[in-house]
Structure 1
Amino acid sequence: MNSTSRRALTRIAVAITAIAVAVPLTGCSIVRDVLGAPAPQPERDETTQEIVSEGDADVFAIRVGDCMNEASAETVSAVPVVPCDAPHDEEVFYDFTLTGDEFPGEEAVQTQANEGCLAQFEAFVGVAYESSTLDFYPYSPTAEGWDAIGDRTVSCMIYDPAGQVTGTLAGAAR
């Protein structure tokens, strides 16, 4: 198998994993909202709004520029955020909102999420996705989140398949 085929298979596997991760992330937040438990908020610098300490944060509290480590649990309600100057697995590089009153279906949401993230990849990294060694996946709304809490937000996550990075991947040109 050539490297192009391996990369394509890796990207498909990442997309499937993203769906598996996104569903529990949204679902657990709904449960927490119904139960009234407070959502963990990341500790941020008052001026820059950058995350200043490691900890868990509600998935809906993450913003563009936030860095985090991969969530290891199968079902999570919070993501492990870290300051970007510490080693980390991924970074939020773009957020956008899907439109519509009715949930368009899982496949349509994933397609829109992937297309929206891909459209912003080069502007963030500095090279086209096809030429980059970096990869991405979206956190995207589920049917339950769409209907129960009006979740329409897609957060585009960028990462280096080779391992953790320190600092932002903005302008990495790789």
Structure 2
Amino acid sequence: MTRLDRRAALGAVVLAAAALAGCTATAAPAPTPTPTRATSGAHASSRDIAVGDCLDDAAAGSTTATAAIVPCSEPHDSEAFAEVTLSGDSYPGLDAVQAESQTACQGDAFANFVGIAAADSSLQVSYYYPTEDSWAAGDRTVTCTVYALDASGKAARTTGTLKDSGR
């Protein structure tokens, strides 16, 4: 599983839209976050990140396999807010997986968690998604994360949850 680099262009959404035929995603309602299960700085496989986990992952690249999980009560980079399950037997390709992940993470799951639509929010979305290898092993899970930007447009650290922040 890899993480979308926050600098990745949304152009992939448009380019891959055609590739999504026959590939669907379902998102479970965002549960109320619970206190993180990890201690400060604990690393977890990107496949083990759970909804409600707060992460120190701003420096993570697009192919990261782990993320540092920290208590949400401490400053952190992002927060896992939803899991989306992609469908399909064969790997649809990187562009299609990223486009479907982006669409799903910015949809109802985001609005249900933050309290407003992604298009109206100052918050940003990123996600951890299956690779071709993990897909072949049965991985279809996308973990959606949300993060804030500072005045200069760089990722900002947050303390506490962004749930129902209306930002």
**Runs of 4+ off more than 4 Å:** none
Structure with more strand by fraction: 2
Match 2:39 to one of 50, 53, 61: 53
Can you give the 5+ residue segments of structure 2 that lack an aligned partner in the other structure? 13-33, 151-155
Determine the structure 2 residue equivalent to 1:31: none
Structure with the bigger percentage of helix? 1
Cα offset for 1:71? 5.5
Pick aligned residue for 2:164 from 134, 157, 171: 171
What whole-Å deviation, never above 9, does each CA across 1:107-164 have from its counterpart, x for those lacking one? 11111101111111111101121221101012111112111x2111000010001210
- Residue 94 in 1 paired to residue 82 in 2? yes
SS at match of 2:7: helix
Query: What RMSD in Å do the two structures reach over aligned CA positions?
Result: 2.3
Matched AA of 1:166: T
Per the normalisation by structure 2, the TM-score is: 0.72
**Normalising to structure 1: TM-score of the pair?**
0.69
Partner of 2:57: 70
Q: How does 1:79-118 map to 2 (within 5 A)?
A: 79-118=67-106
**Structure possessing the higher relative contact order (Cα contacts under 8 Å, 6 or more residues apart):** 2
Letter in 2 for 1:170: K
Equivalent-residue separation in structure 2 for 1:15 and 1:82 (angstroms): 25
Moved more, 128-137 or 73-82: 73-82
Q: Which residue of 2 aligns with 1:134?
A: 123
1:73 Cα deviation from its structure 2 partner: 5.4
Counterpart of 1:122 in structure 2 is 111
Q: Deviations over 1:9-50 (max 9, x none)?
A: xxx963359x9xxxxxxxxxxxxxxxxxxxxxxxxxxxx663
Q: Quick check: 1:71–1:80 contact (8 Å CA) kept in 2?
A: no
Report the counterpart of residue 16 of structure 2 in structure 1. none
SS at match of 1:53: coil
Deviation, structure 1 residue 60:
1.2
Q: Describe the shift of the 1:153–1:114 C-alpha distance in structure 2 as closer, same or farther (beyond 3 A).
A: same
Calculate percent identity across the aligned residue pairs: 39
1:42-78 Cα offsets, whole Å, 9 max, x none, are xxxxxx6632411111111110010011163545432
Cα 1:150–1:16 change in 2 (3 A) is farther
Report which of the two structures shows the higher radius of gyration computed on alpha carbons: 1
Distance 1:73 1:15, change over 3 A: closer
Contact 1:57 1:79 in 2 (8 A): yes
* Separation of aligned partners in 1, 2:142 and 2:77: 19
